[in-house]
Amino acid sequence: MDHSTTAPYSSAQQTAQAITTACEALPSLQKEDAFGAHFDRFGDAKIVLLGEASHGTSEFYRARAAITRRLIEQHNFNIVAVEADWPDASYIDRHIRHRAAASDGRQAFTRFPSWMWHNEEVATFTEWLRQHNAELPFSQRTSFRGLDIYSLHASLFAVLDYLDKIDPEAAKAARQRYGCLTPWQSEPALYGYDVFQEAQDTCEEAVVEQTAGATGTPD
């Protein structure tokens, strides 16, 4: 017998069996309260990480929303942090925490892939957050935060705008450090390409220096 052909199949069977043994049936997503309650076991955790098997799938957005609502309502979670551009998420945060809208008039989540967060499921969830926060003191309202800074231009602008208001000297230093990145703020991929080709020195040292010397967090 040629074991080279049977071993991978046997290994695949073992893997499938291990997954089958570990898996458990979930309540129907049509009953979102029951679905969310299934995750009460994580209520004592400080951080709960929710992933997805594919981007842009409605059911995954709805499932995460149901779980998150449960954790907020029943277990006092108060921060929703998403894999989205930080400056764009701050626009949503202002809306759901009933703060004044940003004055620049820019629309959030227009950079590719806009459909990741600019969709009906996220809109429904953020409107629920706004309603949930409406009756709470500001200090107890759930916030909505972005973890990414892929929008280089918007991120640089947000930091500098914040520092201009609270610490002009820090803003001046930040402009000097960010100067290395400024030529690529509209096309950051070109910066990565040039660094890879050794046609451009890395800006890492200046950015790390700026991050280490930050005086606060733009909000």
Residue 103, CB half-sphere, CA atoms under 13 Å: how many?
A: 4
**What DSSP character marks residue 213?**
T
pLDDT digits (tens, 9 = 90+) for 90-142: 999 999 999 998 877 777 888 778 888 889 999 999 999 999 999 999 999 99
In angstroms, the first-to-last Cα distance of the chain is: 66
- C-alpha–C-alpha distance, residues 142 and 79, integer Å: 5
Buried b / exposed e over 139-173, threshold 16 CB at 10 Å, is: eebbbbbbeeeebbbbbbebbbebbeeeeeebbeb
Report the predicted TM-score, pTM, of the whole model to 2 decimal places: 0.73
Q: Are strands 143-148 and 79-85 parallel, antiparallel or unpaired?
A: parallel
Name beta bridge partners: 59. none
Any idea where the domains of the chain sit in the sequence?
152-219
What kind and span of H or E run contains 84?
strand 79-85
- C-alpha–C-alpha distance, residues 68 and 37, integer Å: 10
pLDDT band, very low/low/confident/very high, at 215 (cuts 50, 70, 90): very low
Per-residue H/E/C for 106-166: CCCCCCCCHHHCCCHHHHHHHHHHHHHHHCCCHHHCCEEEEEECCCHHHHHHHHHHHHHHH
- Please give the pLDDT value at position 213: 64
Neighbouring CB atoms inside 10 A of 125's CB total 20
3 state SS of 19 = helix
- What mean pLDDT comes out for the span 176-189? 77
pLDDT digits (tens, 9 = 90+) for 13-28: 899 999 999 998 999 9
- Please give the pLDDT value at position 127: 97
| Residue among 169, 146, 24, 144 nearest 93 (CA) | 144
